[in-house]
Structure 1
Amino acid sequence: MATAPIEPPQRLVSSLSGDQDGREWLTALPTLVQHQLDAWDLTLERVHAPGGRSSLLALVHQQDGTPAALKFPVPGRASAHEAAALEIWDGSGAVRLLRSDDKTGALLLERLQAGVSLRSLPEAKALLEAAGTVRRLWVAPSTPHPFETLAGRTTQATEALRTAEELTPTAAPLVDEARELRRTLPTTSDEEFLLHGAFRQGKVLAGDRSPWLVIGPSPVVGERAYDLAALVLDRFEDLMAGSGASAATRRRVTKLADSLDVDRDRLRDWTLYRAVNTAVRELATGDRQRGELLLEFAAWL
């Protein structure tokens, strides 16, 4: 039974403020959470706050007293097949899935240390640990599998890139290159690995069973360079603040590619594409400073 009020954190509420379906889900969420607590005989400790923008996480205890985390992803978001990916990894490099409910989308996960991520480490150490963790996730998916492919996932960026020059005309050459990379990259690789899809240092948390475990996948099937590109971009602001930032950026690509046996050129290409694509999103939502920084980072590649 619940021992504390079930109230969605403000960060989650704000992220869904412009989404009618999301607001309806938020209204029903306290009832859904209470139902799941009762169905799985869980005791609520507290709702984790500030939490994320795409899910509610409640810290709970199982019937035998073992701590766990009850997660409710926002319906229809990229985490739709999170449970399927976690089942495949079965705790190897990732948080362990204890139970799932297809109807409500609820996931019961092992409890990790939510306040301790790789971002708490110095950059060089964090990159090393992140690379060692993400490589454990790169396994062959079953056939058939429920996951989208990189070709499908990147299709949604086509229209945004097409209109990007209206947001930042001076970046037209970069946008053109990103548009071409979006067209060619997904069709010119034979790799078919299950990828995290949204990998970054903040999604690698300290655990008891293993020093570092990944959470929050947005699983997709494709080549490893796509996941690794997100790691090149991680904490890019710190990299840009240092001396010789453009050379350091290229060294980061080379170091990560070589350490994980990934083609350097393809890692560079996926990083440029993901940097420009993210920059366009930031510009479209009004964060011009971050968008322009990402474009500058992309230009160094």
Structure 2
Amino acid sequence: MINLPEAFVRETVRREGEAGERWIASLPGLVDDLLHQWACTPTGPVMHGKVGVVVPVRRRDGSTAVLKVSFPHPGNVDEPTAYAAWAGRGAVCLYERDDARFAMLLEQVEQTTLVDVEDDDEAAAVCGRITRLLAVPAPPGLRRLSDRAEGQEHELRAASGTLLSHVPRRTVDAALATIRELGREQPDLLVHGDLHYENVVRANREPWLVIDPKGFAGDPANDAFSVVVGGAQRQLSLDSLCAHIRRRLAIFADAAELDRERVLRWAQAHTLLHACWARNASDPEGTAAFAEQVATVLT
């Protein structure tokens, strides 16, 4: 039986309640069953993300892999479908899948992520190149980003009273225009959906590969928000914020072969939506104020 990390157990139970307790209780047995099913042997301690555990393993043929088991949640349903569509192109390879148990056997990668790259421009270029590789025709049945447009517009309008205490009206109007003009009709392309820098990892087969996709059908320019978030911790002053972020977004757009203006607009809209989320979540780290500043200079 595996030993579950205590921090993961606590966070899962806190977030999911009784359902989380039941899943945690079943998880050691579930992992054992999957190891037997896929003829794998654990080779290291259990790691974890926010919603699942990852067990490094050795396969029957001697190759390495990781067993990932996620908490059953609608947001995790399309992850294996995205991996299968990419077939290792820009993403880790999917070796086995058990959709009913939210389990996958995946290519093993390093623990170094794009967060560790100090050159912001290079990180933006990596994200752009990865986005271009991932933009394949979306498999049938995936959730569509266009279906979120109405809710996003409603969220911004509902929060406009609060937002207008912190940003000019043109900042809110620009985000609303993007969602109205670009959000409701989007390309039928596969989009990662959660392409922050911690989900771009060093690998042996390729320099960088993505992990943990949500899997949506839509406009790849939506993932430009990752460039804003990824480099935020390295901003030195508000004076240079506009030029710095705009340059990185341009680098991302060119590497992804996307229209610069479309990338800029989606980045601005998602940044303001992030500010709304942060204020609703009580914003203990001042995230909302920073996001509002960024959304304003991107307008």
Give the letter for the 1:133 counterpart: I
Match of 1:283 in 2: 279
Distance in structure 1 (CA, Å) of the matches to 2:191 and 2:229: 17
Measure, in 2, the Cα distance between the counterparts of 1:253 and 1:208.
27
**Unaligned 5+ runs, structure 1:** none
Q: Which of 178, 190, 204 pairs up with 1:208?
A: 204
Q: What is the aligned partner in structure 1 of residue 289 from structure 2?
A: 292
CA spacing shift, 1:157–1:52, aligned 2, 3 Å: farther
Alignment of structure 1 residues 1-301 onto 2, 5 Å: 2=1, 5-11=2-8, 13-14=10-11, 16-20=13-17, 21-49=19-47, 51-113=48-110, 115-122=111-118, 123-142=120-139, 145-158=140-153, 160-165=155-160, 168-171=163-166, 173=169, 174-189=171-186, 191-239=187-235, 241=237, 244-288=240-284, 289-301=286-298
**What is the deviation of 1:259?**
3.6
Q: What is the DSSP-based 3-state SS (H/G/I as helix, E as strand, rest coil) of the residue aligned with 2:112?
A: strand
Please state whether the residue corresponding to 1:17 is helix, strand or coil. helix
Q: CA RMSD in A?
A: 2.4
Q: Which blocks of at least 5 consecutive residues in structure 2 are unaligned? A: none
C-alpha deviation, 1:138, in angstroms:
0.7
C-alpha change, 1:205 and 1:35, in structure 2 (3 Å) is same
Structure 1 residue 178: deviation in Å?
3.0
The one-letter code of the counterpart of 2:156 is: L
SS in 2 for 1:31: helix
SS at match of 1:170: coil
3-state SS, counterpart of residue 116 of structure 1: coil
Q: Secondary structure at the match of 2:235?
A: helix
Q: CA deviation at 1:140?
A: 1.3
| 2:93 aligned partner, one-letter code | R
State the alpha-carbon separation in 2 of the partners of residues 253 and 125 from structure 1: 12
Task: Provide the identity percentage.
Answer: 26
| Structure with higher RCO (Cα < 8 A, 6+ apart) | 2
Task: Provide, for residues 86-114 of structure 1, a one-character-per-residue CA deviation record: whole Å limited to 9, x for no partner.
Answer: 1111111110000001221100001111x
C-alpha separation in 2, matches of 1:154 and 1:197: 14
Confirm or deny: 8 A CA contact 2:125 2:251 kept in the other structure: no
- Name the TM-score, length of structure 1 as normaliser: 0.87
SS in 2 for 1:112: coil
8 Å contact kept, 2:268–2:295: yes
SS at match of 1:274: helix
Deviates more, 1:271-280 or 1:91-100: 271-280
Which stretch shows the higher mean deviation, 98-107 or 273-282? 273-282
Work out the CA distance in 1 between the residues paired with 2:215 and 2:151.
16
> SS in structure 1 opposite 2:258?
coil
Q: Distance in 2 between matches of 1:280 and 1:237?
A: 20
In structure 2, relative to structure 1, the CA distance for the partners of 1:85 and 1:293 (3 Å cut) is: same
| CA shift digits 1:202-242 (9 cap, x unpaired) | 11111111121111111111112112232243222323547
Once residues 89 and 295 of structure 1 are traced to their aligned partners in structure 2, the CA distance between those partners, rounded to angstroms, is 35
